Amino acid sequence: MNYDLTEIKTFAKNCLDGDITGHDYFHVDRVAQIAARLYSVDHPERDAHTVFIIQIASYLHDTIDEKITDNVEQRLAKIHHLATIQALSDEDQNNIFDTIQNMSFSKNIEHHHQLSLEGQYVQDADRIEALGAIGIARAFAYGGKHDNPIYDPRIPVTKLTSHDQYRTKQETTINHFYEKLFTLEDLMNTPSGKAMAHKRTQVMRNFVDEFLAEWNLED
């Protein structure tokens, strides 16, 4: 099989070009690299076909995100066409579609969706991208784009219970750390993903501790 990602990457670039919420092409490219790296750490034999499927799903995962596009069905049809061009088996296509349609945090609030091995590495890599210094930057970029205040102590932290609540509730960016970002470490699927998530979560906790100290003039 020809493990060429050119068409996949071009499609992702066209879909995500101009995004300013942290879901741009640079993000999916990092996810692809992180996912392949995590898989390689846990599986030193590194099966090339598995890495290929991981990278395809990584590059495509945000192209159908409801936060990014209103044309989900149209993009799914295009992805199916791309998969046909790549001569992917039905099993590989189903794996990729299951991953990109069910890996998001919001899709797993009410019910955990069990992903394939490849999907677990993509999901872990995407969640790792929400952590650490990059995660901090992306959180504030997204919050600013959606008119969320940086912080308001009058707005309480909320326990997330459903997809709709997650999308519509009153939000601040600092609350988002407590409601979602700090929980991701415990949701990781893979050994290498858990290790990287732990390190990056500590970076965020240190940041939020310092932010609140400065907010309360306790620094």
Question: Model pTM?
Answer: 0.96
pLDDT score of 91: 97
**94, 163 Cβ separation under 8 angstroms:** no
Instruction: Report residue 68's pLDDT band, with 50, 70 and 90 as the boundaries.
Output: confident
**130, 181 Cβ separation under 8 angstroms:** yes
**177, 201 Cβ separation under 8 angstroms:** no
Which tokens go with 200? 């990056």
Counts for the chain of helices (H) and strands (E), in that order:
10, 0
Contacts of 158 (CB under 8 A, 6+ apart): 165, 169, 175, 179
pLDDT beyond 90 at 12? yes
Which tokens go with 157? 């932290």
List Cα–Cα distances, 104 to 4, 48, 111, 185, in angstroms: 26, 25, 12, 15
Contacts of 56 (CB under 8 A, 6+ apart): 5, 8, 86, 96
pLDDT beyond 90 at 21? yes
Domains and CATH numbers, the chain: 5-216 (1.10.3210.50)
Query: Cβ of 42: how many Cβ atoms within 10 Å?
Result: 14
Longest dimension (CA), the chain: 60
**150, 173 Cβ separation under 8 angstroms:** yes
DSSP letter for 62, please. T
Q: Distance (Å, rounded) from C-alpha 67 to C-alpha 144?
A: 14
pLDDT score of 219: 85
pLDDT score of 40: 98
pLDDT score of 195: 98
Calculate what percentage of the chain has a pLDDT beyond 70: 100
pLDDT beyond 80 at 197? yes
Instruction: Report residue 199's pLDDT band, with 50, 70 and 90 as the boundaries.
Output: very high
pLDDT score of 66: 87
Comparing 60 with 161, the larger pLDDT belongs to: 60
Helix (H) or strand (E) holding 17: none
The DSSP code sequence of 32-51 is HHHHHHHHHHH-TT--HHHH
pLDDT score of 67: 86
**139, 211 Cβ separation under 8 angstroms:** no
Residue pLDDT, tens place only, 36-59: 999 999 999 989 999 999 999 999
- HSE-up (13 A, CA, CB side) for residue 1: 18
